């Protein structure tokens, strides 16, 4: 019994960090769909964050932000949000871990492409126009990533005309599933 317990404890000690490394980052749900813009600021009254927020509230910048398929993530005082909706503590920690940031002071803004890779990173002096320019200069392959990831759902084909059910004005009954093949005896 002791050997089994020690073996289990050893396996968990080795596998634990591997499972933690594969944790789901909130950025994973935007991969292939949107370009996350992540703002990490030490406080809600940080001057760099306030100036960026003010420029994001301007109608022309708001339209440019949505036209470029961008999504805003904020981490202020270690409290994360996506588009103004709170993230849980685990999601916020996973977001910060996925960015692989080192220790730094001040506000950091990171643009992540649809492919999940960092495209631009700025600290303290932040200009929204730089991020718009970076998105506009992305290669065509990154811009077309949405078309390959998101496929439209096709409509089911209508039943063949002239069937018995259609003649009566009633919809056709669905076909019965086929029986699975019988397994031979060993």
Number of domains, the chain: 1
Per-residue confidence (pLDDT) for residue 153, from 0 to 100: 46
Please tell me whether the overall predicted TM-score, pTM, comes out greater than 0.75 for this model.
no
Per-residue confidence (pLDDT) for residue 109, from 0 to 100: 87
Residues 6+ apart with CB under 8 A from 41: 48, 49, 74, 75, 76, 107, 108
- Please report which residue ranges of 137-181 form alpha helices under DSSP H: 140-143, 145-149, 164-167
| 53 domain residue, yes or no | yes
Query: Which residues of the chain are under the pLDDT cut of 70?
Result: 1-2, 4-23, 102-103, 140-172, 186
| 40 domain residue, yes or no | yes
Per-residue confidence (pLDDT) for residue 150, from 0 to 100: 45
| 38 domain residue, yes or no | yes
Domain span at 123: 34-140
CATH number at 107 reads 3.40.30.10
């Amino acid at each position: 019994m002791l050997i089994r317990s020690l073996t289990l404890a050893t396996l968990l000690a080795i596998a634990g960090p591997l499972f933690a490394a594969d944790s789901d980052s909130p950025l994973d749900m935007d991969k292939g769909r949107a370009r996350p813009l992540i703002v990490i600021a030490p406080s809600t009254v940080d001057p760099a964050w306030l100036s960026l927020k003010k420029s994001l509230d301007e109608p022309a910048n708001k339209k440019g932000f949505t036209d470029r398929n961008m999504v805003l993530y904020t981490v202020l005082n270690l409290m994360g949000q996506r588009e103004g909706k709170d993230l849980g503590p685990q999601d916020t920690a996973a977001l910060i871990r996925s960015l692989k940031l080192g220790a730094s002071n001040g506000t950091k803004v990171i643009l992540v492409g649809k492919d999940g890779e960092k495209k631009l990173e700025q600290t303290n002096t932040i200009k929204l126009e730089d991020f718009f320019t970076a998105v506009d200069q992305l290669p065509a392959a990154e811009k077309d990533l949405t078309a390959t990831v998101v496929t439209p759902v096709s409509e089911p084909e209508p039943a063949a005309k002239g069937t018995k059910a259609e003649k009566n004005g009633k919809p056709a009954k669905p076909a019965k599933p086929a029986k699975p093949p019988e397994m031979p005896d060993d």
